[in-house]
Structure 1
Amino acid sequence: MYDFSIMPIMGGFRCLRGLIDTAATHVKAGKADEQAILEARLYADMDPFRRQIQHASDAAKACAMRLAGRTVPSMVDDEASFEDLIGRIAKTEDVLAQVSPADLVGSETRVIKLNLRRKWVTFDGLSYVQEFALPNFFFHVTTAYAILRHNGFSIGKMDYLVDVGHRRNGN
């Protein structure tokens, strides 16, 4: 379960770090405004770039802690810069580091109940990861990517799939 859940999330964070680094490079080159990118969104009723990173963080720590049968720690959503968002990712990775592969042995059958839009949904651990946790996490990673693409950033599929290179090249 650890390899199936935590490892892909760590890869998603490598992607998000790369996206934030690309955005910061554009800002330093005078090609973009940091606050404008932090607040950029695909559509008026969607959350902005900074919130996509926060949501990904929340989804990641919830996945790890719920599978381990622990309380999900809360984080204040006060990030106001790219540096702050990188820090949020690092704090979330610290939470994930508190969970070992041994902590998730048997978690595929753990009962996980979530209140989704005022309706309680019950999962076993495996279904939770497959049907909710990973799709939710990667929805926010993908949306962050799409916001930057929509705003003219020169990023492509391999910027999103950066973890494939990381894992296959042993980096």
Structure 2
Amino acid sequence: MTISMYQASIPVFLRALDNLSAILDIGAAHAAAKQLDPLVLTGARLYPDMFPFSRQVQIACDMVKGGAARLAGVEPPPRADTEKTFAELKERIDWTAAFLRRFDAEQIDGSEDRPIVIRTPFGELHFTGQRYLLGFVLPNLYFHSTTAYNLLRHSGVELGKRDFLGPA
């Protein structure tokens, strides 16, 4: 049995976003219960030169937004990185999920060999669609989602592996 590019991308992206949104809910509830300023949590960093929690969520969203668009051969829509609160970050996740739901299998399947070029401050990165999905988008999605989880956990939010993985 084979897995299609669509099956390996859009449903996986949506599940990760759902789980990330649930983690934000737990973080917001923790802040309320402990009478913490929620911006302390959304601004938390593991180390001074790392991005804060809010940026981790933004990047996770950007990865899947760009991933879906590029695999479909369209330009990803721009989105400003202004979210700071749990509510704003959840709205970004919802916006990203709605964008992902616009794609169907016909737009993504067959993109394995599509040339994809990413322009970064460090130069251009060249991929085929499959290498882009499996070697860039998914690892970045999980890195930034895991970092967001770890930032909340490190800040005392009671999260477990099940929260990260979501329902079976």
Distance 1:70 1:42 in 2: 35
Q: Distance in 2 between matches of 1:103 and 1:90?
A: 21
Do residues 71 (structure 1) and 75 (structure 2) align?
yes
Q: How many residues align?
A: 164
Give 3-state SS (helix, strand or coil) of 1:145's partner. helix
Residue 66 (structure 2) pairs with residue 62 (structure 1): yes
Gaps of 5+ in 1: none
2:69 touches 2:76 (CA, 8 Å); kept in 1?
yes
Residue 30 of structure 2 is aligned to residue 30 of structure 1: no
Identity %: 39
The answer to whether structure 1 residue 134 and structure 2 residue 138 are counterparts is: yes
User: What's the C-alpha RMSD, in Å, of the aligned pairs?
Assistant: 1.2
Amino acid paired to 1:10: L
Structure 2 matches for 1:30-109, cutoff 5 A? 30-109=34-113
C-alpha separation in 2, matches of 1:151 and 1:69: 40
Q: 2:54, 2:13 → 1: CA distance?
A: 18
Paired residue secondary structure (1:93): helix
Per-residue displacement from partner, 1:15-41 (whole Å, max 9, x unpaired)?
A: 111110001111221353201001101
The answer to whether residue 26 in structure 2 is matched with residue 19 in structure 1 is no
- The TM-score with structure 1 as length reference comes to 0.91
CA distance in 1, matches of 2:17, 2:31: 21
The amino acid of 1:24's aligned partner reads A
Q: What residue identity is the alignment partner of 1:35? A: L
Whether 1:143 and 2:147 are equivalent positions in the alignment is yes
The DSSP-based 3-state class of the residue aligned with 1:121 is: strand
Tell me by how many angstroms 1:46 deviates: 0.5
Equivalent residue, structure 2, for 1:125: 129
Q: 1:114-163 deviations in whole A, cap 9, x for unaligned? A: 1244222211101111100110111110000000111111111111111x
Task: Provide the TM-score with structure 2 as the length reference.
Answer: 0.93
Structure 2 Cα separation of the partners of residues 131 and 118 of structure 1? 18
In terms of fraction of residues, the more helix-rich structure is: 1
What is the match of residue 7 of structure 1?
11
Counterpart residue type for residue 16 of structure 1: L
